[in-house]
Structure 1
Amino acid sequence: MKIAEIKAYPLTFIPPKPFYNSVDKHYSRSVTLIKIYSDCGTYGWGEAYGPAVAGMARIIETYIKERLIGEDPFRIEYLWHKIQTKKGLPIGVLGGVDMALWDLKCKILGVPLYVILGGKFFDEFEPYGSGLPFKEVHPDSTEELEKETLDLMSHGFKAIKMKIGFGIERDKKRITRVKELIGDRVDLLVDANQAYNISSCLELLPFLEEMKVKWFEEPMPWHNFTSYKKLRERSNIAIAAGEQENNMQGFISAIQDQICDIIQPDIPAVGGITPMKRIAAIAFANNIELHPHIFGTVISLPAALQFMCSQPNYHSWCTFKPPVMIEWDTNPNSMARKLLKEPLELTDGMVKVPDKPGFGVDINEDALEEFIVK
């Protein structure tokens, strides 16, 4: 069996109005979908992150295709190393290709990804609604924040994550308002997107503990491991980080140095399922929880569900309740629903792991045209 064809689809969605985190203003949501065919007609899907989606598609057309077409799609480790050795290759492209190869392999075999990874521990996960960015017209208003908080609660989320990092006093005001709305019925997570330094984090920490925040995500610039370790030692709430890392040595250092309680690799951004397996093994060996970061379109979430259901409970090998909350991106993105033939759904605040072959989903190719970058 051979790889017969590879196609790339550069896609962009423009939300009705931009939204902010502490370091960036999002005018669009972009992704490159990758489709790899075998010579038997079966295909797999992956997705590559990055704003320059037309450039990513060009790399796939000019570099990836000539190295993969004619190869055995089951030799995923070999193919990963074959294409990653080129200096300057965006890791997101590698991640998308790797994901498509795993999806393809599993579809050829007729099994979900979790079967290939050793079988599943869990049938479903509790997702947290990940959104609540800054959308206010007036900087001191919380009107948009309140609307979105109530909307997430109405959809049944048992935990939500909000953006902070807009200044300590403004953060306190926004967190207080969200807590007034959710009470103790819904867990609250906060994400600073690397906005603060160690002094600001230590100043904010007592308030976060008072508000019973479940975890404090990306409080500082990622590679400041010394400050992360200091913060973790002082904190009574979990410190989460790692979405910025795409190098295996970085994950090894962060995990072995115990700089955070929760490590958050992003499947496409780290290079796909292949390196994700290694990161998960290192995290488990060092008793660090792994909660994947997800900010993709339609492939990352089902891929994460498939991968994480094959991982044991980090707290106890004998506990079969999933400890991991799966990130469910609630920021504006029409692609997230329109591109899947059967969109994933929340039921009683839980999402089931798809049982169909591969990642368990398929793309509605008729809907691609709406988002294609010309």
Structure 2
Amino acid sequence: MQIRDVRFIALRQPLQQPLRLAWGAMHHRNFGLVLVETDAGISGVGETSVNFPSWAIVERKATIEEGLKPLLVGEDPLNVAGLWQKMLHAFSRLGVLWGKGAVMSAIGGVDIALWDIAGKAHGKPIYALLGGSQPARAPLYATGLDPAQLADSARRFVDQGYRAVKVRIGFDEARDIANVEAVRRAVGDAVEVLVDANMAYDLDRAKRMAEALQPYRPYWLEEPLLASDLEGYRTLKEHTDIPLAAGENQFDVADATALLDTNAIRYLMPDPTRAGGLSEAQRICALARARGYPYSPHHYGSDVGFAAALHLISAVTGADYMLRDVSPAPLRESVLREPITVVDGCALTPTGPGLGIELNWEVVLAHQVRL
């Protein structure tokens, strides 16, 4: 069996209301799918993270179709480890020129698709190929609450069975504190409240906000500082009892190792669609487990990548809550012909061959962006 083609499929859905995060507003949602086709009639699908910037879909198409595709056509798709190394060797120096995150995200989308092919070829779910014995029932935290009705939105998802919700901060300090207080009051003490600053703060502001948030008992404070500010994380840990979480913007084992070496964070958050796919994300999660840290897979994209993260959880023990985007972006789920099962705030890993999912091509083609 040989790889015949590698394609990037950009999807876009306009948002009725802009989605505001600490690092900018999203007026539409981008999703980036990767399709790897073989001469045996087996195709694999993966996902690469293209949330920010808005033009990431243009870069990613070129990187995958002009950069990675020539390396892969004619190769054996079942040689997943060898092809991962080939892509990394060819692109590691190039990443210095335009960004390690872009490079590893591109490799990640292809890698997930290759694992999908391998699972289909062997008739096994990916988690079994990665060493897992059974599908996971992964507890989720709801993120993307309605900012106009934050407390009511949080309560609504708790009523649906979620035992954890996340509040985005990094805007106005007084409003952020009031929002966390309102959500804590709405969900009560039995539900976990997570807080995400999206790298909005310098160290002084992070210290100030951590102190102000302490009374509301956050389960974690996520990315209060730039991902690269390792010394800042080390210092912040000495000034707060709130557990720190980070890792979605650490793109390989080396990045994750440097972050863990600070002894500052409690929860590591690898994203398979950013950190080199399932191959590298599995190694990152194994690193966390070996050092005694729980990991919490990050994924802010379509349910293709969500399925990949569920296979990761099923393969590597030590997972904590997993992100579930609940913001109004129905394309996220409708790209699949059959939705992933979410019951009582938990997601079930698909058990079919490969990722165990099937694209809804009618929906995909209707939302495809021609680049």
Opposite residue 161 of structure 1, the aligned amino acid is: K
Q: What TM-score comes out, normalization by structure 2 length?
A: 0.90
Give the drift of 1:147. Answer: 4.1
Q: Which of the residues 131, 153, 160 maps onto 2:144?
A: 131
Following TM superposition, where does structure 1 have runs of at least 4 consecutive aligned residues deviating by more than 4 angstroms? none
What residue identity is the alignment partner of 1:349? G
How big is each residue's C-alpha offset from its partner over 1:17-51, in whole Å with a ceiling of 9 and x where there is no partner? 10111121111211221111222211111012223
**Matched AA of 2:130:** L
Q: Find the counterpart in structure 2 of residue 94 from structure 1.
A: 107
Distance 1:252 1:286 in 2: 10
Deviation at 1:269, TM superposition (A): 0.7
Counterpart position of 1:343:
339
Once residues 100 and 359 of structure 1 are traced to their aligned partners in structure 2, the CA distance between those partners, rounded to angstroms, is 9
Partner amino acid, structure 1, of 2:281? M
Q: Which residues of 2 match residues 120-269 of structure 1 at below 5 A?
A: 120=133, 123-132=136-145, 135=147, 143-269=148-274
Between the aligned partners of 2:135 and 2:334, the Cα distance in structure 1 is: 27
- Per-residue CA deviation, residues 122-152 of structure 1 (Å, 9 max, x unaligned), is 630111101137x4xxxxxxx4323432332
Q: Which runs of 5+ in 1 are unaligned?
A: 136-142, 314-322
Partner of 1:22: 22
Task: Supply the AA of the counterpart residue of 1:332.
Answer: P
Letter paired with 1:365:
W
The CA distance in 1 between the partners of 2:21 and 2:161, in whole Å, is 24
- Give 1:57 deviation, angstroms: 2.3
The answer to whether residue 59 in structure 2 is matched with residue 63 in structure 1 is no
Q: What is aligned with 1:319?
A: none
TM-score, structure 1 as length reference: 0.90
> Within the alignment, does 1:7 sit opposite 2:12 as a pair?
no
Aligned to 2:313: 308
Do the aligned partners of 1:126 and 1:325 also contact (CA within 8 Å) in 2?
yes
Aligned partners of 2:135 and 2:311 also within 8 Å? no
SS at match of 2:369: coil
**Aligned counterparts of 2:218 and 2:12: Cα–Cα separation in 1:** 34
Q: Which moved more, 1:162-171 or 1:186-195?
A: 162-171
CA contact 1:121–1:311 (8 Å) conserved in 2: no
Alignment partner for residue 348 of structure 2, among 346, 352, 356?
Answer: 352
What is the identity percentage for the equivalent residue pairs of Structure 1 and Structure 2?
A: 29
Deviations 1:306-325 (A, max 9, x none): 11121123xxxxxxxxx511
How far apart are residue 66 of structure 1 and its match? 2.2
Aligned residues of 1:19 and 1:27 also touching (Cα < 8 A): yes
Moved more, 210-219 or 116-125: 116-125
Do the aligned partners of residues 13 and 99 (structure 1) sit closer, same or farther apart at CA in structure 2, a change above 3 Å counting? same
Alpha-carbon offset, residue 271 of structure 1: 1.2
Q: Which residue is 2:360 aligned to?
A: 364
- The answer on whether the counterparts of 1:258 and 1:288 sit within 8 Å (CA) in structure 2 is no
Q: 1:54 to 1:221 in 2, by over 3 A?
A: closer
Unaligned runs of 5+ in 2: 96-101
- CA deviation after TM superposition for structure 1 residue 193, in Å: 0.7
The residue type paired with residue 76 of structure 1 is V
C-alpha separation in 1, matches of 2:135 and 2:47: 25
Q: What is the deviation of 1:249?
A: 2.2
Partner residue, 1:316: none
The CA distance in 1 between the partners of 2:212 and 2:314, in whole Å, is 34
Which 10-residue stretch deviates more, 231-240 or 109-118? 231-240
Contact 2:136-2:313 within 8 A present in 1 as well: no
Quote the Cα distance in structure 1 between the aligned partners of 2:210 and 2:63.
Answer: 44
* Corresponding residue for residue 318 of structure 1: none
Question: 1:320 matched to which residue of 2?
Answer: none
The CA deviation at 1:64 is 2.5
Q: Distance in 1 between matches of 2:177 and 2:69?
A: 50
* Alignment match, 1:329: 325
Match of 1:290 among 288, 295, 303: 295
Distance in 2 separating the partners of 1:212 and 1:346 = 27
Q: 2:99 maps to which residue?
A: none
> Which letter does structure 2 place at the counterpart of 1:33?
L
User: Alignment partner of 1:20: what SS?
Assistant: strand
SS at match of 1:90: helix
Name whichever of 13-22 and 340-349 sits farther off: 340-349
